[in-house]
Chain A
Amino acid sequence: MNEERLRALLRETPAPGEEAAAQRGLRIAREAFTRREPPRRQARPRLGLAFAIGVLIAGLTLSPAGAEVRDWIGDVFTAGVPNAERALTDVPGGGRLLVQTRDGAWVVQPDGSRRLLGRFQSATWSPRGLFVAATDGHTLSALDPEGNLRWSISAGAATSDPRWSAGSGFRIAYRAGSALRVIGADGSKDGLLGGSKDGLLDPQAAAVPAVWSPQGLHLLAYVDAEERLRAVNADTGEVLGSAQTLPGIDLLGWSADGSMLLETSPRALRIRPVTTSKLVEELALEAPRNVRLPAGASLETAAFSPNGAAIAALLYSRGRAGKPAHSEVVLIDPDGSPPRRIFSVSGRLSDLAWSPDGRWLLLSWPDADQWLFIPLGGPGKIRAIGGISGEFSPGEGDSGFPRIDGWCCPAASAGSG
């Protein structure tokens, strides 16, 4: 078709009810404009407060002092951060988010625009954010962030917890039923993977997502059915190390340099030194160090910072003896300093994710329908975005509050993975 003809046709063809829609839209825009915060000059007190909180948090991050003020922060936010932004127009700190709703997996671009990848139940980034591995029913698929399917396999059992290997990104580990399997990142069932015909690493693994060593050595840590931590060479299936882990363990994580493993359960957090040779033929899982958590608090989730210098942990304490239920985020120094509280609210927070540059933490506050972006160690202010469930419910219907599955890489780069 001729381009000029198409251009002319599109310009001459109105949408149905265009004028009436314009009138309705203008009315709504004017109402929203009237309701919006007063212009900048009058808004100083709010900005000042937010800035002060940001500076305060930065200070707390650096200093163990300031307990009284930290309690004040907890008092400020009881039912959502006030004056939250009404729309997600950018991702503070940059990078892209991988998000899960009842409708499926979504990618959120740095400018806040969203793209529904498809009806998947869990998803994970490839190491450089060029692809996404996702599960749906018995299927494991690889897609680009635009949602274009690259390959798909049927695993014969319900798939979950896909994890893309670090470094070159040549492997994907996933659960199929209760089995832990590995597959080539191009979808090939390499006969050698896992040391078995179909990439089977363990027929009965615990329901804890496996984690790849960030050193890119195809070294995979997972938990078996007896709650033993195992480190295996995913290409050969050889077990390189094993150790008893926490009862009720629900999360594993590697530090950026592969020298530590994080193990958590709702009641405990451990840091375990790991010694590996460059060839991964020798590996030692050392004795773990237990980190003491506040009495009565349960651990919701935790994650190493991208540079491995800290662990952020999200804790929840039920209300008791006149004290309301509250959530708090603490930073834990892997070297052993006492945890430092950096943020606290009355209510229940859920997910926690580090920005790729380690300067922001993203927290979910489902009851307030907000995402909270918390700046760390800088002069930024807390960014609260409201109406999050609506952001992931285009058209009618409610897709529920989204779960954060990953925060990846500022920009896609060439090359595999």
Chain B
Amino acid sequence: MGVESGAIEAVDLPQPPAGRRERRLIREAQRGSQQALGELYAAHWRRAHRAAYFVVHDGPAAEDIAQDAFLAAIDALDRFDRRRPFAPWLHRIVVNRAVDWGRRESLRRAVGDSEAATDTAPPTESIGGDLMEALARLPIEQRAVVVLRYLLDYTPGEVARMLDLPRGTVNSRLRRALDKLGDLLEGQR
């Protein structure tokens, strides 16, 4: 499926490999297998990249964040405990870095960096453009819990652990985010 510069297309998210297969891939990657690395990458990149994008709403930044997370994973590969699933570990890095990036950009905008502000404009002419626009209007902390819960399918308890938040905070952020998204999308019709 080809992609034009700046254009957007719908691409299904691949399912992460099942437990045993993933453990095998990690073991082989630890032994130096490029093929295993490629398979792990193919299984996890798109979700990680999309998660970063939905939090930061900045294409280059999302790409950097997802790349950084994979480089961190490669660096830590020898120490990685194969009994643990790979995806939560990766997603935790991605979403926390995305929140950090968003906060830093907010601080920059607060002191008048207008260039950074223009970079974060959400796409409007795209599949799901209304949703993206609405999502971009949520506080970044709400975007992070929405992405972990509804894109990456973690339970509120898992989200709480990944973001180091009380579970009640996660639930209230989800509730507020859903309400606001509903209002915003309704208003766009």
Seen from chain A, the residues whose Cβ lies within 8 Å of a Cβ on chain B are: 1, 3, 6-7, 9-22, 24-26, 28-30, 32-34, 36-40, 43, 85-90, 103-104, 106, 109, 111-116, 118-119, 145-147, 394-395, 412
Among all A-B residue pairs, the 4 with the closest Cβ atoms: A13-B128, A15-B53, A1-B182, A87-B72
- A-contact 0/1 string along B157-189, CB 8 Å cutoff: 000000111000100000000110110010000
- With A3-B178, A29-B41, A394-B97: A19-B103 Cβ-Cβ less than 8 Å: no
Q: A1-B182, A6-B150, A38-B32 are in contact. Are A13 and B37 (CB under 8 A)?
A: no
User: Is there an interface contact between B150 and A28, defined as CB atoms closer than 8 Å?
Assistant: no
B71, B131, B147, most chain A CB atoms within 10 A: B71
Residues in chain A near residue B110, CB distance under 8 A? 119
Q: How far is the CA of A112 from the CA of B97 in the complex (A)?
A: 11
Asked whether, in the complex, the Cβ of A15 is within 8 Å of the Cβ of B75, the reply is: no
- CB-CB < 8 A to B78: which residues of A? 37, 39-40, 43
B131 close to A113 (CB less than 8 A): no
Q: List 27 A-B contacts (CB under 8 A).
A: A1-B185, A3-B150, A9-B128, A13-B128, A14-B8, A14-B9, A15-B53, A15-B59, A18-B8, A18-B11, A18-B49, A22-B46, A25-B66, A26-B42, A28-B70, A32-B74, A32-B75, A34-B34, A36-B75, A38-B32, A86-B71, A87-B68, A87-B71, A112-B93, A146-B165, A394-B100, A395-B104
Number of interface residues of B (CB under 8 A): 80
Q: A32: which B residues are within 8 A, CB to CB?
A: 70-71, 74-75
| Given known contacts A13-B128, A21-B63, A85 and B103 CB-to-CB distance under 8 angstroms | no
Question: In the complex, A176→B40 CA distance in Å?
Answer: 53
Q: Which residues of A contact B32 (CB under 8 A)?
A: 38-39
Q: Report the minimum CB–CB distance from A137 to chain B (whole Å).
A: 12
Q: Which of A9, A25, A38, A118 lies in contact with B63, CB distance below 8 A?
A: A25
- Decide if B86 is an interface residue (CB 8 Å cutoff): no
- Which chain B residues lie closer than 8 Å to A106 at the CB level? 100
